[in-house]
Structure 1
């Protein structure tokens, strides 16, 4: 088996879904900070802490809502051929995974609430590996269905036990 650079990107909607998913916890933090500010007031004894926490929140929002989704989209790749499933993922720490078709045990799809709203799905390929499942994230639902069908067909042709 040779090292293949995965060719396919996630859906073009993936960065938006990742950004919205990242924004939700930051929204709760902003609400909590606003409540604390209203209760304590800027002239209270923790005025410096309000400013420091607000600055940290702004930096966090910029990084995790605007930068990370775009970076992840540039890094994430996947591919499937008759011999293996290939993925590349991560943003700060990047990981490449290769799952030989002969080791595939199950192929599943997952659609969370945001995925369903934006028509996306994630494919999980479970193998007989201690490293865990290989995940292809943020695919258009139709593409995910085709990948699952393709993997099922390829694995059936191999007719090998994946244990």
Structure 2
């Protein structure tokens, strides 16, 4: 794909993560933010002589936590994309900043999958593609667990058939 001046333009990866990722990210943010807000509130209430402006600060933190829980999962879902072809792995992620990464299949060294307890509850899994790159691994978070297994199997088959040595 090129722009009107003939300059190549990188298209977005083809696939979105699982729609269940929104609920997973919401619950994850809710747990973390609740701990933060409750800790701040308890400190404000239990520490003697705490100035009144600290209470306003706790309210501000609570308001930001609510915005985080409501907005972050939906933004991440719109942004996070992934694609695996016979020649490369392409990811895009972020919610405030954006990061796109492309790793040629010839650079892939390992493919791992991960499924924590909360991810398992939502039927999700993540895959990590380690490459011969100083930039570190590529990660695709919140795939449907069956899709993640298929992607790992596909990447394993593609890399096994690749003659280059990923170094």
**Same fold flag (TM > 0.5):** yes
Aligned residues: 159
Query: Residue 39 of structure 2 corresponds to which residue in structure 1?
Result: 32
- Describe the shift of the 1:36–1:144 C-alpha distance in structure 2 as closer, same or farther (beyond 3 A): same
1:110 to 111, 114, 138: 114
Q: What runs of 5+ residues in structure 2 fail to find an aligned partner?
A: 1-7
- Describe the shift of the 1:130–1:36 C-alpha distance in structure 2 as closer, same or farther (beyond 3 A): closer
Q: Are the aligned partners of 1:40 and 1:46 in contact in 2 as well (CA < 8 Å)?
A: no
Query: Residue 3 of structure 2 corresponds to which residue in structure 1?
Result: none
**TM-score, normalised by the number of residues in structure 2:** 0.87
RMSD: 1.8
Q: What runs of 5+ residues in structure 1 fail to find an aligned partner?
A: none
The 3-state SS of whatever aligns with 1:137 is strand
1:49 to 35, 39, 54: 54
Q: Are the aligned partners of 1:4 and 1:86 in contact in 2 as well (CA < 8 Å)?
A: no
**TM-score, normalised by the number of residues in structure 1:** 0.89
Q: 1:4, 1:84 → 2: CA distance?
A: 14
Q: 1:102, 1:151 → 2: CA distance?
A: 11
2:77 to 73, 78, 84: 73
The 3-state SS of whatever aligns with 2:109 is strand
The 3-state SS of whatever aligns with 2:16 is coil
